[in-house]
Structure 1
Amino acid sequence: MKKAILAGIAALIVAAGAWYWLSPGMAMQGLREAALAGDKDELRERVDFPAIRESLKSQMRAMMVAEMAKEKDNPFAAMGMAFAGAIIDPMIDGVVSPDGIKVMVESGKMKDPDKSVADQSTREEAEWEIDRRGLDRFIARPKAKDGEKVPSLIFKRDGLGWDLVDIEVPTLAEKKPI
């Protein structure tokens, strides 16, 4: 009886370790497959689009405030920032879409809202590296050349699966703690 209990506990520990090691890669692979197949329903299951939009909008506003602080003596800079603020929401809404996720997963770069998805598709697919952050988070980053800034995908555990809940823009990735 004791051997059966110990064997069960050992099997549970092995299964938990395998889940911890393999599930982030499987989640990234599932996201990639759904994005490349254009399966919008599956993407809605795997991606928290409203949370990502809000996060990116706040990151962009913070970036604008930082830039405006640098140009505090220039009245035209403040006016330019006001105009830029008006275009943030539609720009982010265009980038954070199933098509935008497809471009990002395929190329490792943010979608240019002014270009079609076909214009941005690449022959060279991005390879993603996974950085685990405990039992409930991981970050996926495309492999980049030295000095190249790339977005980071932040996943959060949802039950035994994972959801994409945030994207760090390259210019703020070094400054924003996770």
Structure 2
Amino acid sequence: MNKVILGAVALITVAGTGWYFASPSMAMAGLRDAALQGDKDELAEIVDFPAVRDSIKSQFKAQMAAEMAKEQNNGFAVLGAAFAMGMVDTMIDGVITPEGIKAMVENGRLKAKTSANAAEAEPKKPAEWEIERVSFDKFRATPKGGDKAFAMVFKRDGLGWDLVEIDLPDNLMDKSRAQ
């Protein structure tokens, strides 16, 4: 009887450890597969679209407010930024869609490739992602060799994971980043 209990405890420990280390990679692979196949229902299961949109809106608005504070002596810049701030919600709602997530997952970039760049490049496999465990119930995925300035943040949901946030770079509004 003791051997059965000991064996069950060992099995549960091994399974739990395996889940702890393998589940983030499996979650990212599931997101990648759903995005590349265009499976909107599966994406809706994996991505918490309202939470992702809210996280991006708040980050974007905070950076815009900081830029407005820097440009307070330039009335036209402040007016333009205030006008843009009013359009942020609509813009983010239009970008953070299954198609937008697909582009991010496929390219490993925040912006889609332009048609000029796409014509030059041969078809390639989707971006690879590095996984960083933040805590027991949270991990971040950043693209390997791509735009490492952003990260997809997943939060544990039962034994699975949901994409709940996209961390934007702190210098998103810098003119030096614009291309």
User: Do the structures match in fold with TM over 0.5?
Assistant: yes
Q: Report the counterpart of residue 26 of structure 2 in structure 1.
A: 26
Aligned equivalents of 2:29, 2:108: Cα separation in 1: 14
RMSD of aligned residue pairs (Cα, Å): 2.2
Q: What is the identity, as a one-letter code, of the residue corresponding to 1:66?
A: A
Aligned to 2:160: 161
Separation of aligned partners in 2, 1:68 and 1:29: 39
Partner of 1:40: 40
Retained in 2: the 8 A contact 1:127–1:142?
yes
Task: State the Cα distance separating 1:89 from its structure 2 match.
Answer: 1.4
Residue 163 to residue 107, structure 1, CA distance change in 2 (3 Å): same
The amino acid of 1:126's aligned partner reads: A
How do 1:112-127 residues align onto structure 2 when only pairs under 5 Å count?
A: 112=112, 123-127=124-128
Q: Name 2:76's counterpart in structure 1.
A: 76
Gap change, CA 1:109 and 1:136, over 3 Å in 2 = same
Q: Provide the aligned length of Structure 1 versus Structure 2.
A: 167
Uncovered stretches (5+) of structure 1, i.e. residues with no partner: 174-178
* Partner Cα separation in structure 2 for residue 12 and residue 108 of structure 1: 36
**Amino acid of the residue matched to residue 55 of structure 1?**
S
Q: TM-score, normalised by structure 1?
A: 0.86
Aligned residues: percent identity? 56
Which range moves more in the overlay, 163-172 or 20-29? 163-172
Asked whether the equivalents of residues 35 and 98 of structure 1 are also in contact (C-alpha less than 8 Å), the reply is yes
Give ranges in structure 2 of 5+ residues lacking alignment: 173-179
Query: Displacement, 1:124?
Result: 4.7
Distance 2:162 2:171 in 1: 22
SS of equivalent to 2:135? coil
Instruction: Name the residue aligned to 2:94.
Output: 94
1:55-89 deviation digits (Å, cap 9, x = unpaired): 11111100001111111222222101111112211
- The 1:144–1:171 alpha-carbon spacing in structure 2 relative to 1, beyond 3 Å, is farther
Contact map agreement 1:48 1:163 (CA 8 A) in 2 = yes
Q: State the SS of the aligned residue for 1:133.
A: strand
Indicate if the aligned counterparts of 2:24 and 2:161 stay in contact, CA closer than 8 A. Answer: yes
TM-score by length of 2: 0.85
In 1, the alpha carbon distance for the partners of 2:35 and 2:55 equals: 21
